Amino acid sequence: MLSFIGRRASHSIISVMGLLALVFFLTRLTGDPSSLFLPLDSTAEARAAFAKLHGFDQPVYWQFLQYLRDLLSLDFGESVRQNRSAMAVALEAFPQTLKLAVVAMLLSTALALVVGSLAASRPGSLFDRVVTLVSLSGASAPDFWVAIVGILIFAVSFELLPTSGTGSYLHWILPIFVLMLRPFGLLVQVVRGAMLGALASPYIKTARAKGLRRQQIIFGHALRNSLLPVITVAGDLTSGLINGAVIVETVFGWPGIGKLMIDAIIQRDFAVVQSTILVTATAIFILNICIDLLYAVLDPRIRY
């Protein structure tokens, strides 16, 4: 097990370094930050001094080598806009994104397990057809469209919910609903498909012959043996929520790492962009390793 974790960690480090290199060079293609942080009528000397202060006067390849050297000493650079550690800025915003993603994923997974299991227990019924229609619609709807429509209906028309911010529990409802919709739709279909196969298994027929209650058969036997594919998809979706909350956070003004990343790109705050990518990528790789370890807990055969 420890050797497996070591291999996955080494592969993850290589992937993160490659991602950081790509982001480093792509951000430099967006232009000179001095045009945003200095007045339009600033002199050439002022621009040269600004570039020298932040290291932008060096060739790009030399800036990259300096960046790698600083990474080894855990120096992630300073935010040009906030004049403080870029990593500190990213770490302050990341918990907001993590809380949003975790709550949305837990709710969508729990709801999908119940709804998908009940739909599989009555294949072809009206309930099954309605669940299939709703889940496929939710999985297909674009996040930005659902977010805008939600604001239009619940915030503008009925004035029931706020449009942005994190002041109270009401501010959580729309962002979580939008983030839940796609994972719920996909997980319902995965749970339903896995449960249909499990309910047709011989051990389920034996359980029925023993006179076990229907709820006990569905949730105590069939669902437990259908969790591996559900965990696989749920893990991928959780990674997607952490990485893809950019749109939802931007639309709802949620102060998470996704909105911070967009703001830093617009403001050409290169150190913050690189730090947000590093934090997000590291969180996703750790999550993937944890999911692999969870497989071994649920199915002892995987350990070997």
State the CATH number of the domain containing residue 213: 1.10.3720.10
In degrees, rounded to 5, the angle at the alpha carbon of residue 144 between the alpha carbons of residues 150 and 19 is 145
Write out the residue range of the structural domain in which residue 209 sits: 90-299
CA 237 vs CA 120, 121, 287: distances in Å: 22, 25, 11
Q: Which residues of the chain have pLDDT under 50?
A: none
pLDDT at 94: 92
- Supply the Cα-derived Rg of the chain in whole angstroms: 24
CA 76 vs CA 56, 178, 262, 271, 300: distances in Å: 15, 33, 18, 7, 41
- The DSSP symbol for 151 reads I
- Coil/strand/helix, residue 165: coil
24 occurs within a structural domain: yes
Residues 146 and 244 in one domain: yes
Contact 85, 79 (CB under 8 A): yes
Q: How many domains does the chain have?
A: 2
Element (H, E) at 203: helix 202-209
Tally of CB atoms within 10 A around 295: 16
pLDDT at 49: 85
Residues 287 and 240 in one domain: yes
Q: How is residue 231 written in tokens? A: 């965990």
Output the CA torsion 294→296→300→304 (10° steps).
Answer: 180
The pTM assigned to this predicted structure is: 0.82
> What pairs with residue 78 in β-bridges?
85
227 occurs within a structural domain: yes
pLDDT at 11: 79
Burial of residue 218 (CB within 10 Å: 0-12, 13-18, 19+) is buried
Name the phi and psi angles at 93, rounded to 5.
-85, -25
pLDDT at 104: 92
- What is the distance in angstroms between the CA of the first residue and the CA of the last residue of the chain? 9
Residues 43 and 118 in one domain: no
- The DSSP symbol for 163 reads S
193 occurs within a structural domain: yes
122 occurs within a structural domain: yes
Residues 279 and 151 in one domain: yes
82 occurs within a structural domain: no
Contact 1, 303 (CB under 8 A): yes
Q: How is residue 2 written in tokens? A: 């420890």
83 occurs within a structural domain: no
Residues 217 and 139 in one domain: yes
The beta-strand segments (E) located in 93-197 are none
Residues 29 and 114 in one domain: no
Name the phi and psi angles at 163, rounded to 5.
-90, -25
In degrees, rounded to 5, the angle at the alpha carbon of residue 105 between the alpha carbons of residues 104 and 109 is 120
81 occurs within a structural domain: no
pLDDT at 299: 66
Q: How is residue 280 written in tokens? A: 């997000």
Residues 27 and 151 in one domain: no
Residues 102 and 34 in one domain: no
- The length of the chain, given as a count of residues: 304
pLDDT at 1: 64
